[in-house]
Amino acid sequence: MISPHGADALRPLFVTDGKDRAELLAEAESLPSLVLNSAAAANAVMLGGGYFTPLDGFMNLADAMSVAEEMRTDDGLFWPVPILNLCADVGGITSARRIALRDPNVAGNPVLAVMEVGSIEAAGAEQLDTVVRSVFGTGDDNHPGVSEFRSLGRYCVAGPIRVLNFSYFERDYPDTFRTAVDIRAEIDRLGWETSVAFQTRNPMHLAHETLCRMAIERLGADGLVIHMLLGKLKPGDIPGEVRDACIRKMVELYFPADTVMVTGYGFDMLYAGPREALLHALFRQNMGVTHLVMGRDHAGVGDYYGPFDAQAIFERIPQDALEIRIFGADHAAWSKKLGRVVMMREVTDHTPDDYLVLSGTNLRTMLSQGRHPPPEITRPEVAEILMDYYCR
């Protein structure tokens, strides 16, 4: 099986021993507390689940700047996006050596992790701007990732953590949320030597389904891991439970049994385009898959990135930076000529009129009006679930 990134074995930071966890929870009640923002809480969940192996916690400012500018930590580990705990106010923890990190996304702000405070540093405006422009490729505050990052605060609280729960993800998505440890163990149990991951924050339409089939067939893969983002999205994106129901129905009806894992992870979408694509590949390597489907405008938003920038960045990193490989996919659409979904670059005799394409806006309008999208776009059973959501 593919090796974890930068380590011989996964390094999940979740405390599995019940006695140790109870003692840490008890200790946390007497420690100074910091209520995290959603981005930092999501980072803690990913660290807990082993997705961010081999990190042992939140990065300090030197690592963050090195990652932003060079895609390497200070000690040379390849890493594409800083993993930070930024906050606006550190008044209650300035002299603390250990602190309780509290969950902003659960009522009562329960303890999410305990942290050894390595450093508390105030980032300068130029440093924060460098991170923004390096990671997002733009300083435009209309970019949802940029505006979110700028709202987090300027204090960088760094140090190793021990994670005590997985926030709301286990509670709200008990059949879907899985750690990198869980997925790696299941791939090993199934004996998959070559496996493909598909990243999604949306329901999967027929084109997505076809891209997954193409990847499986062309790579000779043993199985597919559909890995959906369960964390914070931008306004207008479809809620996790609706996406989950759509994907499970598609897998149940249209894929052979025991060839697909439907899973999800607790992370907030960054919309950082190429840099986020690298991070997506890195933590898929940690969960054990050998390939990641990389489609058009992966992790993008608006017109901030070129349609294939997220694929091209993999050609600019060192060969040994990541072991996982991508399956580069073009835009897929229904060919009226051939009567099937195709990747557009593979059919050179087609004109735009030879494709059936619906924009996301048109598709949402159709669904909200209770009109079935054509089966060339969306499986009928998936359309029913989406119509029920849009017509509530």
Q: What is the rounded CA–CA span in Å between residue 181 and residue 99? A: 26
In angstroms, the CA 346 to CA 342 distance is 7
Active-site residue, from 72, 133, 150, 201 = 201
Please state, as a whole number, how many other Cβ atoms lie within 10 Å of the Cβ of residue 34. 22
**Rounded distance between C-alpha atoms, residue 81 and residue 72, angstroms:** 9
Active site residue 201: yes
In 3D, which of 332, 363, 362, 328 has the Cα closest to residue 350?
332
> Rounded to 5 degrees, what are φ and ψ at 383?
-60, -35
| Residue 325 falls in the annotated catalytic set | no
List all residues 6 or more positions away from 330 whose beta carbon is below 8 Å from its beta carbon: 295, 296, 343, 344, 345, 346
Beta pairing partners, 159: 58
Max Cα–Cα distance, the chain, nearest Å:
70
Catalytic residue among 133, 202, 213, 325: 202
The catalytic residues are: 201-202
